[in-house]
Amino acid sequence: MFLEQFPGEGRQNGWIEVICGSMFSGKTEELIRRIRRAEFANQPLIMFKPDIDNRYSEDKVVSHKGSAFNAVIVKSSQEITEKWNNQKVVAIDEAQFFDEHLVDVCNDLADKGARVIIAGLDMDYLGAPFGPMPRLLAIAEYVTKVHAICVSCGNLAQFSHRTASEGGQVLVGAVEKYRPLCRTCYQSSTN
């Protein structure tokens, strides 16, 4: 459980938080919850999302449950640096869709005193580390792994099983293309 007790909070110290897990585990919901708390505290903030993710909205980060927050749409991690205007809190959703340079961008923002909150899939549909997420997990001061519930057996799920026939690592979708599964059910479904 993420305790949200930050030593030196209020000073110029920056840090990186990563929220990871499978699809339908509540990553975006948790990201929005943290951002709303910062907004309530009148902390200057900005939310980014990759242009590839337009499932629910063109200009908002939206959770599967329907929670939404205005976002700046970017094509690359470099645009985050260009559009950041010294906000104290920087949120990034769907980090797995960004290029590897996102790690440098997040480090740079944290070094400049920003609280950087990142949400993304830690594994792709094959169970392999996804995009820049492994490196972000390695450099983060705080990591929260959230789990979905396996739709087959009810155990904790950490895999995003693709039900659609399309290939390729990136396939943006929701319940029409993916199901959360536990390790045992995932292994059974891929054999």
Q: Which of 130, 128, 142 is nearest to 102 (CA)?
A: 130
| pLDDT by 10s per residue, the chain, length 191 | 445 555 555 556 899 999 999 988 999 999 999 999 999 999 999 999 998 866 655 676 776 676 778 899 999 999 999 999 999 999 999 999 999 999 999 999 999 999 999 999 999 888 899 999 999 999 999 999 999 999 999 999 999 887 756 665 555 555 567 889 999 999 988 76
Q: Does residue 178 belong to any structural domain of this protein?
A: no
Which residue among 9, 17, 29, 94 is the active-site one?
94
With respect to residue 78, please indicate whether it lies within any of the assigned structural domains. yes
| Structure tokens belonging to residue 45 | 């903030």
Q: Say how far apart CA 30 and CA 147 lie, in whole Å.
A: 12
Domain assignment of residue 134, yes or no: yes
**Annotated catalytic, 94?**
yes
Residues in a beta bridge with 123: 129
Range of the domain at 21: 15-147
- The answer as to whether 48 is a domain residue is yes
Counted domains in the chain = 1
**Burial zone of 20 (CB within 10 Å; 0-12 exposed, 13-18 middle, 19+ buried):** buried
User: Residue 38: which residues within 8 A CB-CB, separation 6 or more?
Assistant: 45, 88, 89, 115
Is residue 157, in this structure, part of any structural domain at all?
A: no
Here the CATH number for the domain that contains residue 89 is 3.40.50.300
**162-117-75-133 Cα dihedral, nearest 10 degrees:** -50
Q: What is the pLDDT of residue 1?
A: 45
55 occurs within a structural domain: yes
Q: Does a structural domain hold residue 91?
A: yes
Structure tokens at 178: 């993916």
What pLDDT is stored for residue 161 in this prediction? Answer: 82
